[in-house]
């Protein structure tokens, strides 16, 4: 049977199972519509060979074909992601080879630094094209749900600083400091003496400039440094959107190092993405495979239960856990909308291939958080074995203590 006939039979079966507002334009000029409604997305197959991507429509194969230019796709990113997931869910199993695979990658300082540079050292102006003015590249906090992205990012930082009960003049280590927003605000509001570490040269350079522009260079030091090379102890430690790069095998070492860097009576906040699969499996339908290949090399997600277990084994006591999955779904949706609005500039800054990667990545992440494929937790902890008197009575009392101190 020819590929065209196979594709026609595939379309007939799919139309009987689902209504997909997708138009397929074949290499010979023919069209196949999978819905009676107007198409929201059009996929053009430039050759018969490219029909295989639709016949086995995993997020990895279709996403990869789009990124590499093997197929052409038109439509809004949010519609592209919704439709490819509809295709995958009607034809593929969410378990097995294309499902929630569990990867365990090797990590060392060299490979981790290379992975970080791949993701972050695109250009600072590229990130500025879809982030807020504060250049905060992590889940925002929408206390009321109607905040602007910039306001929600400030609320997220303030929430973290309150949860760790930061006191005036304390020392703070920010692991994976990004472009410095958290350290700068900690210095401005609390007079905290901060060290921010990152493996991204671009981030370190701009963060240093932003620290100076904010007038807190006497309080904030930005280092191009691996967290494993940090020495000393700190009253407070934050890690925001970083531990996803550590690797499942290395989580014990990571939290043990954090514990050693924490001063007596200190508090840690770990804010990071987790798998919603109890076996630490990645996103289904090949989504995790796409992310590892194109977006976050060496990235691995652990289930929250696994994280809490490893924390305890590493000598840390968990004080507070909060799920911010809904917040990250909205954050990514706003990033994606900004990216769509600035399409021409994003393509100029990143190039056509990277533009396609990030276009589907941002919209895909919003979909994944929305549909409970991945989640985001803030975890507050301290050294294990301390007196109960060292723990706050409640979240409100913990925040009040921090507020009264400034």
| Active site (catalytic) residues | 365
Residue in this structure with the two tokens 């925002």, named with its chain if needed: 140
Q: How far is CA 400 from CA 62, 190, 359, 385, 406, in A?
A: 50, 14, 41, 25, 10
The strand order across the sheet containing 41-44 reads 31-33, 22-25, 41-44, 72-74
Spell out the alpha helix ranges (H) of 73-148.
77-91, 109-120, 124-128
Nearest to 289 by CA among 88, 48, 112, 126: 88
Mutual orientation of helices 59-67 and 343-370 as an angle, nearest 10°? 180
Q: Please, are residues 202 and 121 in contact by the beta-carbon 8 Å criterion? A: yes
Strands 234-240 and 171-175: parallel
Q: Please, are residues 166 and 234 in contact by the beta-carbon 8 Å criterion? A: no
Q: Which two tokens stand for residue 181?
A: 């927003």
Q: What residues have CB less than 8 Å from 363, skipping those under 6 apart?
A: 77, 78, 80, 81, 332, 336
CB atoms within 10 A of CB 31: 11
Q: What residues have CB less than 8 Å from 141, skipping those under 6 apart?
A: 152, 153, 155, 156, 159, 324, 327
d(CA 180, CA 135): 8
**b or e along 200-223 (b: 16 or more beta carbons within 10 Å of the residue's beta carbon)?**
bebbbebbbebbeebebeebbebe
Q: What residues have CB less than 8 Å from 144, skipping those under 6 apart?
A: none
């Amino acid at each position: 049977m020819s590929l065209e006939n196979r594709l026609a039979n595939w379309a007939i079966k799919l139309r009987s199972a689902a209504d997909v507002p997708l138009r397929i334009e074949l290499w010979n000029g023919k069209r196949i519509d999978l819905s009676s409604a107007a198409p929201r997305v059009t996929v053009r197959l430039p050759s018969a060979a490219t029909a295989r991507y639709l016949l086995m429509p995993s997020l990895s194969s279709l996403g990869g074909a789009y990124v590499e230019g093997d197929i052409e796709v038109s439509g809004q990113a949010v519609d592209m992601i919704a439709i490819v997931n509809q295709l995958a869910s009607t034809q593929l199993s969410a378990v097995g080879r294309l499902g929630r695979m569990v990867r365990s990658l090797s990590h060392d300082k060299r490979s981790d630094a290379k992975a970080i540079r791949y993701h972050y050292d695109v250009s600072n102006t590229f990130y500025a094209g879809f982030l807020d003015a504060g250049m905060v590249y992590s889940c925002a906090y929408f206390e009321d749900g109607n905040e602007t992205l910039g306001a929600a990012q400030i609320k997220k930082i303030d929430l973290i600083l309150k949860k760790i009960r930061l006191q005036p003049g304390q020392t703070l280590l920010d692991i994976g400091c990004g472009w410095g927003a958290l350290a700068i605000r900690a210095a401005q509001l609390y007079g905290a003496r901060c060290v921010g570490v990152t493996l991204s040269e671009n981030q370190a350079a701009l963060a240093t400039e932003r620290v100076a522009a904010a007038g807190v260079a006497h309080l904030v030091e930005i280092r191009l440094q691996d967290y494993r090379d940090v020495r000393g102890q700190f009253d407070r430690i934050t890690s925001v959107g970083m531990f996803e790069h550590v690797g499942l095998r290395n989580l014990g070492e990571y939290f043990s190092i954090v514990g050693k860097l924490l001063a007596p009576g200190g508090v840690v906040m770990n804010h990071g993405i987790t798998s919603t699969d109890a076996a630490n499996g990645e996103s289904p339908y090949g989504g995790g495979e796409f992310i590892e290949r194109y977006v976050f090399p060496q990235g691995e997600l652990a289930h929250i239960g696994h994280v809490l277990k490893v924390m305890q084994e590493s000598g840390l006591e968990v004080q507070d856990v909060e799920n911010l999955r809904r917040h990250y779904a909205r954050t990514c949706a706003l990033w994606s909308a900004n990216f769509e609005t600035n399409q021409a500039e994003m393509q100029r800054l990143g190039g056509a291939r990277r533009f396609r990667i990030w276009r589907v990545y941002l919209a895909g992440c919003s979909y994944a958080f929305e549909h409970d494929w991945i989640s985001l937790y803030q975890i507050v902890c301290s050294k294990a074995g301390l007196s109960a008197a060292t723990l706050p009575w409640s979240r409100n009392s913990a925040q009040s203590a921090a507020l009264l101190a400034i």
